[in-house]
Amino acid sequence: MKIFDQSENEIPKLRRGVALGFFDGVHRGHADLIRTLVMNCCQLDLEPAVFTFDEHPATVAHSSKRFSGYINTLAERLELFEQLGVSEVHHYHFDEQFSHLDPEEFLNTILLARLQAGLIVVGEDYRYGYKGEGNVTALRSWCDRNQIKLVVVPDVEIFGQKISSTRIRRLVEMGDMDHAASCLGRPFSLRGEVVKGRKLGRELGFPTANFAVAAGQISPAYGVYVTRTRIGSRTWWSITSFGLRPTIGANDSVPMVETYIYDTRVDLYGQEIEVFFLEMLRPEKKFDSLLQLGAQIKEDLQQAYIWHQKSEDSYISNYVKSIPVWVLQTDRFSQGSLQFVFQHKLERQRAAAFALLMQVLTASCRRFPGRTELSTELDRLYGSSLDSHVEKHGDLQTLTLSAEGLINWTDGSKPFADTVRLLFDVLLDPDIDEDGYFDQAIVDSERQSLITELKARENDRARYAYDRSMQIFCADKPHGIRATGDIESLEKLTQDDLSKAYRELVTELPAMICVGGRIDTEMLELIYSSLDKLPSERSASVFGSIKPSMFNNQQPEQEIKEYRKLEQARVNLVLTGLPPYFSHRSIAASMLNSMLGGDVHSLLFDVVREKMGLAYSVYSVNARYLSALLVLAGIDADKTDAAVSAMKEQIAVLVSGKFDARLFETSKRLLAASVEASHDDISHMVSAVVSAVILGRNMSIRDALSLLDNVSREDIISLASELKLAVNYRLLPDTLREDIKS
């Protein structure tokens, strides 16, 4: 990412998309806005840039009012911009002179002449120019006159209120770190260089790492907090006191961050650390004696440790060979679950190669050369499982090795740890010969298994119709490639192709690990040491930095009829217009899908199937990474026209808002139950963390339920109004073909 300020006389002559705002905190709403910028820039072939300031305009324009401080330093904001995919940041110094700049002059001299903007992205309440006289209405008019695309990104609301930097500052000042994290999309944190303190904590048996808050940055409420602390690439459980230390420092005027880190003893003087504030335990208090203080500290330490054990709050515990290791700590389950996930951009031949490779890897390893031997070992581990999965997220293929097992057994063994070792065996010590080739018999067997699955899919009329609808809709874009490739590609694969795919897997593909359950330091060290065995030349970018590309359907509506030997017809409608997959509005899209055809109470099921009798099967699916809604139906061949008309009528009901309140409330209730149920199984919880990383949007159950609760009837009407039919596909009995009839 390149950084420019107003002192740069020459900047590259590029057409840019520009996001406008100060973006303090780079919170959930900001993330939606900036990712919308990046998405549109990819489609319009523009450079994604942010225009911002190094000083908050409020400190100059409203200098008489109190400004509590910044959520992030400028350096931290720049890091967050880069993580979101921004290529350039143009930051100016906001001073008295700049504050008097005429709104039109700002647009003409900076956005048009200097930045050559072809796209501008702003929030709903964006203001600019002298006294904030410029607003979105004026900006839209100016953009129209200059043939510049303007995108206004809706606000994000959580817990009934708009997310804003002001709200987050207030929450931090109150010590409400839980709600601050919900708004930010991550825990609030402070960074600083560790300095020598009075060593009183060491004398009491609780040595701490101390630093002062950076000048101008917001200070949390004084008190004791459950925290995590990042040291270099590794993050540890910790507990932190923030304040003036009234018991021992009656004359102190500068608040200090004092952090005790569990399970490690390292010299941190002079090092920068980052402390993530998770929950306030208690306000700061003055004690009558050091003895009372020591007793309270012991109680705080125990309370914080219990919180960490139960938290179910996912975080990156370490980076090893560019691979982030996510931990989901919970004490609710006797089992542990680990997923080792790889990603790459979909290509037909590579998709087939990696799909076959994953099957071959989990069929054997050098220690257990064959499925029978491997299965016997898993049975010995009290029913542990070791599997591979291949999925597609938009134009990305996702490859997963998963291990599950009991954390502990009554004989003192640790089946889950042994299963994790087995997972690393199949990955790092596969059954290959000195030329790097896999056992040919296993390759042939697994290849045939995949081909058989694909042939069965082609013979299944419903699945065949779905695949054809996707091929038509996605045309030549990689979004339409099957996750496992196709039969022709699988048949062509050679041993050299598999060896190349294996080398790419362990040296190049972006990867992540997520481990969930009662995860102790011993398990983490096992994972770290195993990852260290990966080739040192690994050149992968960090998992999650490559996001699924937005699918942009530019084709006119297509009506396709195909004929096969069958008795009943299949009808699939593909409707575009849903929000992008990363948008927080996607929860409303899930509601829309539930109301239309996603559940048994839906309009399609109740009206088209039950009341009108036009379909024996009809339902809808939210194709998140295609920003599309699919309606899939099995219909009597002579009723397809009537059924399609009835389907369109149900969409019209949603557009008009003339739907029963019970339909709306039932959908919301069922979705809420689904969100809650997803946390009843440790493997589902781990999968949810992986999905959140791919989406770039991590949230707790409470956050998700709050977003769902905020969905209104008006949101459903608005989304339904944006739906547009892109593909009307019909698979019909060949007896209906006109050329056969004639």
pLDDT at 160 over 50: yes
Q: Give pLDDT tens digits for 483-499.
A: 999 999 999 999 999 99
Look at residue 7 and tell me whether its pLDDT is greater than 60.
Answer: yes
Q: The tokens 């008795």 sit on which residue? A: 567
From 3.40.980.10, 3.30.70.3270, 2.40.30.30, 1.10.150.120, which CATH number describes the 187-308 domain? 2.40.30.30
Token output for 421: 């070792």
Decide whether 320-464+491-531 matches 558-741 in CATH topology. yes
Q: How far apart are CA 640 and CA 673, in angstroms?
A: 34
What is the per-residue pLDDT across 710-730, written as a single tens digit (0 to 9) for each?
999 999 999 999 999 999 999
Measured between alpha carbons, how far is 448 from 454 in angstroms, rounded to an integer? 10
At 631 the three-state DSSP class reads: strand
Positive or negative torsion for Cα 518, 520, 524, 526: negative
CATH tag for 320-464+491-531 (out of 3.30.300.30, 3.30.830.10, 1.10.390.10, 3.40.50.300): 3.30.830.10
pLDDT tens digits for range 120-133: 999 999 999 888 88
Angle in degrees, CA 232, 238, 244, rounded to 5 = 105
For residues 337-348, give the mean pLDDT: 95
Structure tokens at 268: 């941190």
Distance CA 457, CA 718 (A): 36
The count of other CB atoms within 10 Å of the CB of residue 543 is 22
Is residue 575 a contact partner of residue 651, using CB atoms and an 8 Å limit?
A: yes
Rounded to the nearest angstrom, the gap between the alpha carbon of residue 136 and the centroid of all alpha carbons in its chain is 29
- At 567, the pLDDT band (50, 70, 90 cuts) reads confident
**Mean pLDDT across 222-232:** 97
Q: Residue 313 is which amino acid?
A: D
- Spatial separation of the C-alpha atoms in residues 672 and 682, rounded to whole Å: 19
Cβ within 8 Å of residue 655, ≥6 positions away: 717, 720, 721, 723
Question: Given a cut of 50, is residue 140 above it in pLDDT?
Answer: yes
Which band of pLDDT confidence, cut at 50, 70 and 90, is reported for residue 295? confident
* Joined tokens for residue 600: 């048994």
pLDDT above 70: residue 195: yes
Binning pLDDT at 50, 70 and 90, where does residue 201 land?
low
Do 591 and 708 contact (CB within 8 A), yes or no? yes
3-class SS of residue 3: strand
- Give me the pLDDT at residue 200, please: 61
pLDDT over 60 (residue 170): yes
User: What residue type is 327 in one-letter code?
Assistant: V
213: its two tokens = 């808050």
| 431/433 Cα distance (integer angstroms) | 7
**Residue-wise over 164-192: b if at least 16 C-beta within 10 A, else e?**
bbebbbebbeebbbbbbbbbbbbbbbbbb
Going from N- to C-terminal start, the domains of the chain cover 2-157, 187-308, 320-464+491-531, 558-741
pLDDT grade, residue 247 (50/70/90)?
A: low
Structure tokens at 699: 């949230």
Residue 55 has pLDDT above 90, yes or no: no
Inter-residue contact 451 to 715 (CB < 8 Å): no
What length does the chain have?
742
Q: What does the angle CA 63 – CA 69 – CA 73 come to, to the nearest 5 degrees?
A: 120
Q: What is the pLDDT of residues 619-640, one digit of tens each?
A: 999 999 999 999 999 999 999 9
Cβ(331)–Cβ(551) under 8 Å? no
Contact 631, 615 (CB under 8 A): no
pLDDT band at 535 (very low <50, low <70, confident <90, very high): confident
Instruction: Specify the 3-state DSSP secondary structure of 719.
Output: helix
Summarize the confidence of residues 69-93 as an average pLDDT. 93
Q: In what order do the strands lie in the sheet with 724-733?
A: 558-564, 724-733, 568-576, 628-636, 617-623
* CA 226 remoteness from chain centre: 25
Contacts of 452 (CB under 8 A, 6+ apart): none
pLDDT in tens, 537-558: 666 678 877 888 888 877 788 9
The total of other beta-carbon atoms located within 10 Å of residue 422's CB is: 22
Q: Reply yes or no on whether the pLDDT at 262 is more than 70.
A: yes
Is pLDDT of 364 > 90? yes
Half-sphere exposure of 468 (CA within 13 A, CB side): 24
Q: pLDDT band for position 576 (50/70/90)?
A: very high
- DSSP secondary structure letters along 322-391: TEEEEEEE-SS-SEEEEEEEEEEE--HHHHHHHHHHHHHHTT--SSS-SHHHHHHHHHHTTS-EEEEEEE
Residue that is written with structure tokens 């992008």 in the block: 580
Q: Are 119 and 139 in contact (CB under 8 A)?
A: no
Does CATH number 3.30.1050.10 belong to domain 558-741? no
CA distance 622 to 537: 40
Rg (CA), the chain: 28
The full DSSP string for 163-209 is --HHHHHHHHHHT-HHHHHHHHTS-EEEEEE-B----HHHHTT---E
Contact call for residues 414 and 518 (beta carbons, < 8 A): no
DSSP codes joined into one string, 277-303: EEEEEEE----SSHHHHHHHHHHHHHH
DSSP per-residue string spanning 424-462: HHHHHS-SB-TTSPBPHHHHHHHHHHHHHHHHHHHHSHH
Rounded CA gap, 39 and 551, in Å? Answer: 9
The residue with greater pLDDT, 356 or 93, is: 356
Q: What percent of the chain has pLDDT over 90?
A: 79
Task: Collapse the DSSP code of 519 into the 3-class scheme (helix H, G, I; strand E, B; otherwise coil) and give the result.
Answer: coil
pLDDT for 742: 46
**C-alpha separations of 597 from 277, 590, 619, 649 in Å:** 42, 11, 4, 13
Average pLDDT for 386-390:
97
**Closest-CA residue to 543 (of 724, 360, 325):** 325
Angstrom distance (rounded) from CA 631 to CA 651 = 11
DSSP-assigned states of every residue in 698-710: ---HHHHHHHHHH
In this prediction, residues 152-177 reach a mean pLDDT of: 95
Confidence of residue 739 (pLDDT cuts 50, 70, 90): low
**Averaged pLDDT for residues 511-520:** 96
Instruction: State the pTM of this model.
Output: 0.93
Q: How crowded is residue 544: how many other Cβ atoms within 10 Å of its Cβ?
A: 17
Mean pLDDT (whole number) for 568-585: 94
Q: Is the pLDDT of residue 267 over 60?
A: yes
pLDDT band at residue 253 using 50, 70 and 90 as cut-offs: confident
Instruction: Determine what percent of the chain is predicted with pLDDT higher than 70.
Output: 96
Nearest to 224 by CA among 201, 250, 193: 201
Residue 522 clears pLDDT 90, i.e. is over it: yes
pLDDT above 60 (res 740): no
Secondary structure tally for the chain: helices H, strands E: 26, 25
Average pLDDT of every residue of the chain = 92
Mean pLDDT of 594-605: 94
- What CATH code is assigned to 2-157? 3.40.50.620
- DSSP for 550-594, written as a single string: PP---SPPEEEEEEES-SEEEEEEEEE-PPPTTSTTHHHHHHHHI
What is the dihedral sign for C-alpha 703, 705, 706, 710?
positive
